[in-house]
Chains A and B, each alone.
Chain A
């Protein structure tokens, strides 16, 4: 499996999560705001549509009022009733200029165009807006928005009363870009007036939109899709426009369509700034979380890597270090556990080494002593020191000659049985073996285990060894080998401690007391146990002894008083 960095995963996870959260928040807000903006625009369009309708009604009313003023003019009635068309045209042109209208027409009751200010010479044609006249007949006046000569006009018809209607006065205001602009100022909406072409299709009659967008609007609005009070969403120019279609004017007169629009983008403009702020905040949040994720990941990975390095060192057997991670969390716990484990491993190795040493201690210490040292947990007891000890030295008389005469197998066999006899005795009396080579054996007491009766123990060991050795020697004498056993015991202060080198060291006693015991042993005849004065003093209650003449010994300036131990006193016999 591919190695994937923990840090990368943490960073990817957190940054990914935050990105997802930010993105979904942004998206949700954007969707909500856009929906809200749409609803708001919808409401604005509805209000705009009403304002628009109201404005048109007001204009219509104004038109009707100004037309009605003319219908009350008696001279005009007179001119009309006398069919004086030149005068009527003049009156209409004058009135049109006064009320700033764009067209005035006089229509007969049978809907013939009598006078038209747009076409002064034209007369007697059927009037182009019969539907409006029909409505005016029913309701005294009527209005419409109609296309005349390709241009949209807001038209009003009122009767000329004398006192019954004798003709219809029609007044019209042109609807041009200026009107659209005025409506835009009031409604804050884009206003376009669309007309239907005679052959089908739509044409933009007047608009607040720039030319190119008028064309776009026309291409987006197929004639068939145009119905009154429809709300559409059109994508044109710089974005989306929410669009309301409102039919104005009578359909029979070829009514036109008012298109009210509001740019969604414009409505969303305040939100766009908010969106930028949100994006910036999200970006900052991402940056912070990226840094945080890296920081946290490093807090984890760095100590872990340290622990890994340590583990590798431990793998190589190097326990002599610890991981220092100052954290109070799981990682810190892992580090401290790791340290404990390392210490445990070190301890285990130490114990293993110790056990090896213990194995070696067994060469020169009785099992009890070894046990003591091990249970004490260290070898401090084996450190160099000085103490009073009692040294027992023994060897065989005539062993050198025996070694030369006898077969090697016999020599080794004898030595083995000799050692087999002496070894258990030494352990029984808890002596410490200093030398155990050939026929010479050196054992001391009171170290490393202190015994208040170390001298007595030494004497008892010597007596026991003499007894066992005598039996052994007797059996060998029968085979023709003449051997003897002598012991020397001395008491005094010696230097004790480990000697040797790593992997092979002994526990040894050094001092004149050792020499003395060896010299006494050398002086002893077969069966004799020679002890120094202090030994005798310590053991005289235990054994019967005889004093022998003081011995002159090599290495000792003065003759040394010595005693030969005979036997245990009856009362102390085991």
Chain B
């Protein structure tokens, strides 16, 4: 499911195993762990396409990290129309009522957080983290994510999450990777309360599922 990163020019490939948890030790899913080379050097990564689905009136995945410049397509897998929009400064866009794959891909050409909404279903909430580095991964339910294919070097490893405070600099750790050795990074973070709008009760939802 990860965006393909890295390439044939990288001779050796190490990985960073990240783990995000709360102070109480609860694993945190949907956290984006990214690694950016301190040197600022960026591999000439190929910018691909990413997908954010709409299934059962939810954005799937809830959190999607992409490399800046990636085009995202928003397939509607429900049998009703959606109206996807964002007022985020990083990308303001609107895909008026559409079905299936009618909507054109949207190119995210500016790094930052893009919050997705649906004008019809106000509880529908999706996060797209537009990153400058191709090295990133999203934690699974067990709080773990593995960033693979990293060349040796020193990296600024950061974690992002919808329930981490906005505006402030993301939690980060500097990690040096030597050839042939994988690293482990652990983040302990406090999450804000989940303030997602409640889903409107719908008798229809069962029928459409």
A: residues with CB less than 8 A from B are: 72, 74, 77-78, 81, 137, 140, 161-166
B: residues with CB less than 8 A from A are: 83, 85, 87, 92, 115-119, 122-125, 195, 197-198
**Cα(A518)–Cα(B21), bound, Å:** 177
The reply to whether A163 and B115 contact each other, CB–CB distance below 8 Å, is yes
Q: Knowing that A161-B122, A162-B115, A163-B116 touch, tell me 17 more A-B residue pairs with CB under 8 angstroms.
A: A74-B85, A74-B119, A77-B87, A81-B87, A81-B92, A140-B195, A140-B198, A162-B87, A162-B117, A163-B115, A163-B122, A163-B123, A163-B124, A163-B125, A163-B197, A164-B125, A165-B195
In chain B, what residue has the closest Cβ to A164? Answer: B115
The reply to whether A166 and B87 contact each other, CB–CB distance below 8 Å, is yes
A342 to chain B, nearest CB (A): 111
Contacts of A164 in B (CB 8 A): 115, 117, 125, 195
Contacts of B197 in A (CB 8 A): 140, 161, 163
Chain B contact residues: helix, strand, loop or mixed: strand
Contacts of B92 in A (CB 8 A): 81
Contacts of A74 in B (CB 8 A): 83, 85, 119
The reply to whether A161 and B87 contact each other, CB–CB distance below 8 Å, is no
**Cα(A165)–Cα(B115), bound, Å:** 11
A380 to chain B, nearest CB (A): 131
Contacts of B83 in A (CB 8 A): 74
12 contacts between A and B (CB under 8 A): A77-B87, A137-B195, A162-B115, A162-B117, A163-B115, A163-B116, A163-B117, A163-B122, A164-B115, A164-B117, A164-B125, A166-B87
Contacts of B123 in A (CB 8 A): 163
**Cα(A374)–Cα(B63), bound, Å:** 151
Contacts of B117 in A (CB 8 A): 161-164
A286 to chain B, nearest CB (A): 74
A136 to chain B, nearest CB (A): 11
Sorted from nearest, which 4 A-B pairs have the closest CB atoms? Answer: A163-B117, A81-B87, A162-B87, A74-B119
Contacts of A77 in B (CB 8 A): 87, 119
Contacts of B118 in A (CB 8 A): 163
**Cα(A162)–Cα(B123), bound, Å:** 10
Contacts of B125 in A (CB 8 A): 163-164
Contacts of B115 in A (CB 8 A): 162-164
**Cα(A161)–Cα(B87), bound, Å:** 10
Most buried by B among A81, A164, A166: A164
Contacts of B195 in A (CB 8 A): 137, 140, 164-165
In chain B, what residue has the closest Cβ to A73? Answer: B119
Contacts of A78 in B (CB 8 A): 87
A70 to chain B, nearest CB (A): 12
A161 to chain B, nearest CB (A): 5
**Cα(A78)–Cα(B96), bound, Å:** 13
Of A72, A81, A166, the contact of B122 (CB 8 Å cutoff) = A72
**Cα(A117)–Cα(B145), bound, Å:** 51
**Cα(A52)–Cα(B126), bound, Å:** 42
Contacts of A140 in B (CB 8 A): 195, 197-198
B91 to chain A, nearest CB (A): 12
**Cα(A126)–Cα(B208), bound, Å:** 46
Contacts of B124 in A (CB 8 A): 163
**Cα(A78)–Cα(B119), bound, Å:** 11
In chain B, what residue has the closest Cβ to A74? Answer: B119
Contacts of A81 in B (CB 8 A): 87, 92
Contacts of B198 in A (CB 8 A): 140
In chain B, what residue has the closest Cβ to A166? Answer: B87
B60 to chain A, nearest CB (A): 15
In chain A, what residue has the closest Cβ to B59? Answer: A163
Contacts of B119 in A (CB 8 A): 72, 74, 77
**Cα(A140)–Cα(B193), bound, Å:** 12
Contacts of A72 in B (CB 8 A): 119, 122
Contacts of B85 in A (CB 8 A): 74, 162
In chain A, what residue has the closest Cβ to B92? Answer: A81
Contacts of A161 in B (CB 8 A): 117, 122, 197
